[in-house]
Structure 1
Amino acid sequence: MEQQMVRTTLSLPKDLLAATDQAVQAGKAKSRNDFVTRALRRELAAQKRLEIDAALAEMANDVEYQAEILQMEAEFAPAQWEALKLGETSE
């Protein structure tokens, strides 16, 4: 599925544009547009990963969440033990 494109104008430092052109000439991208689009996608994905990492870090310090996890582990322990025993006998 082809995405709808929107034309825009960017102002870039000369050295960044030159490096982009070199990458295109080396076959690392089809065009300037392709190079910039892929770079933007990577940057946005990296920012999203940072947001997720920050949320996970908060969970590590959340006392209520940690208590809930410990309770779940205790509730699942018998089932995990049974699964382990079944796995050992089926080998």
Structure 2
Amino acid sequence: MKAETVRTTLTIPRELLEATDKAVLEGKAKSRNDFVVQALRRELAAQKREEIDAALAEMASDPDYQAEVLKLEVEFATAQWEALQLGETPK
């Protein structure tokens, strides 16, 4: 299923447009539009990864979260050991 598209106008520096056209001519994108869509998707994905990394970094320094993780590790330690032993049992 094709995503809905919307026509818009962008104002960009000339050198970016020239570099985009060169990339299209070299076959790195099907069109200017395709190149811009690819670039926007990559940038949005990078921003999302940065948000996730920031949240993980915050969790790593949160004492309440760390205490909960340690509690879970203790609760699951026996099950993890049993699973490891079962995995090493000759068949």
Task: Provide TM-score, normalisation by structure 2.
Answer: 0.96
Distance 1:32 1:11 in 2: 13
Deviating above 3 A after TM superposition, structure 1's stretches of 4 or more consecutive aligned residues are none
Distance (Å, rounded) in 2 between the aligned partners of 1:89 and 1:57: 38
> Quick one: distance in 2 between partners of 1:83 and 1:3?
45
Instruction: Show the counterpart of 1:47.
Output: 47
Please say if 1:81 is aligned against 2:60.
Answer: no
The answer for the alignment partner of 2:62 in structure 1 is: 62
> For the aligned residues, what is the CA RMSD?
0.9
Q: Distance in 1 between matches of 2:75 and 2:6?
A: 53
Equivalenced residues, count: 91
Report the 3-state secondary structure (helix = DSSP H, G, I; strand = E; otherwise coil) of the residue aligned with 1:81.
helix
- Percent of pairs with identical residues: 71
Could you list the runs of 5+ residues in structure 2 that have no partner in the other structure? none
1:44-76: per-residue Cα shift (whole Å, max 9, x none)? 110010000000000001101000000000010
Partners of 1:57 and 1:65 lie apart in 2 by 11
Which residue is equivalent to 1:6?
6
Deviation of 1:90 after TM superposition, in Å, equals 3.0
TM-score (norm 1): 0.96
Return the alpha-carbon distance in structure 2 between the equivalents of residues 3 and 89 of structure 1. Answer: 51
